[in-house]
Structure 1
Amino acid sequence: MWRLHLHQHPRIPLDDIKGTHRTAEQIHQQATQDVYQYCRKHGLVQVWAYLWNRWYTPKQWILWARASCDAIPRTKTTMMVESTWAQMKRRDLHQFNRPRLDLLTHVVLVNLLPRVRRKMEYIQKKRRKGRPHPLAKWQETLKRDWQEMSKPDEWRLMSKELVCRKKGVSGQLKPHEKEERLTNIEAEKVRPKGSYHTNIDNMTCSCPSFTLSRWLLCKHLVRQVNEKTGNAPLNNLPFFRALRRNHYPPFYIIPGVHMAMPAEAGACPIDFEGPGDIQETRAQERQVSPVTSRFDHGNKSEPEDSEDRGFERSSPFCSEDEGENSERVSSDLISLISLICQN
């Protein structure tokens, strides 16, 4: 339930007959009501007091709920920062308990910054020039998930059943766990297929998998894209290397769906500048809508030239500061880091 509240957004349709789009205020009210009814049903008075004061009050809601922002973010920056510090503590400071500030500064300058510099050079493709660059880790995962969602439902269920039976024979699954998984697979086989509002133009779908997806994708969208492009993305590495998720609909710009296919067979354009009408539509959508103005505290305006940058080219798992065309990832910054490391 909490996970669903986290991922709901006004731009994602609901799974109902009309494919309704709730406003940000309606999403907040419904989420609060769901939590309240659950706590009241189970007599969790203290849990409700904690959830309301720390999570669902309007001041706290805007800090974590995706519906409080007009755009759909690509990353969870808090997790990225925590991951950086966790790696630093386990890799460089594992022998020190509560290190002194001078030691911490030395570790950052000598150990951490050189790794950051190498990563920046790799993102800017300044390392190993002339050699083909492999897919990033998140691109490999996206490619694997795309291929998995492209398979027919019967194929996917058969694969799940085989994996479950193999783990049961090898002892990786306990007997009751194996029976439970096989029962769920059999129930999924006879479950009637749902009817969802799939919009390939905006790359949105009303199915629950789309709302909770890491990539904002589901099998319905993937299969429609494959059908319209003749299964071109399945074994096309340039397609996944150039694929980027946008903050606003359409969340993906697919060659052959939202723009003309490139003239060269098998090629995939790297520059995803949309046509003029899409640019104008997106410029209008970047304005904070009235339904989300209730949660808009402070000045969130962007520079005047932000609307002319087209669709974002940074990766779905990198912030805008780490993109290929980022203004902050520059040669001057890398030179500064190199100078600090040398000194």
Structure 2
Amino acid sequence: MHFSKPQVDLLIWILVVKLTPTYYKNIDHLLNDFGRFRELSSWRKEFKRDWLHAVNTPITAPLNPKYRPDPHRWVCTCPNLVKTRFLICKHLVQSVHPVTPTFFLEVQRNRTIPFWAHLLLVPLNSCPPPLATAAIPVPVPGPVNEEEIESGDEASDGVEDDLVDTFCQQLDTKTFQEHMLTHVKNTCDFCDGLEYQIQFNDYRMLTILERNGSSFLRLADNCLSRE
């Protein structure tokens, strides 16, 4: 009598023994994320592509006085900023130190200014970020949905400055001096070459210098204006 309907019995056995445990396991993974790898949001790939495009886009020098990029608050008065999906423009991207590949995996979006928050977003006129090989403390993300824009960062500017100063103190003094001396020597040699080019009145050289070296020229102007 118990085997009068073997097909139904087999179906029930498959549902109870084979199928149900799999669904229980999937539900447990959805409700409990301890020790489980979270897949990154799809927008990060497009964000990285747009960021690299902005980095490689030349900026015409001198900079239009109407454009006032502020990397601390991550705002700019150029018209392209409000048109982009990720609220980035070439003026803001090129006004901060180069970022490492991990930046694109860890950067956070905010609903209020600054719209992007990360320890590597350090303006050029501030202390440089730590070396790429150094371990960067990153807060462990909570169980939030990354498809939505993450909540605003509550950290104040003073706290961010303290973090930057801490990283500066951790840099090796000898390594810092070697790097600075190398940059100073290369800059002096390059300036000697530019001075030699003046006699030829080559406007192409001037155009290339202002286009490709606009970030360095702006940094030099900002530093000299504060003396």
TM class, shorter-length:
0.3 to 0.5
Q: TM-score, normalised by structure 2?
A: 0.40
Q: Work out which of the two has the higher radius of gyration on C-alpha atoms and give 1 or 2.
A: 2
Q: TM-score, normalised by structure 1?
A: 0.28
The structure with higher relative contact order (CA 8 Å, sep 6+) is 1
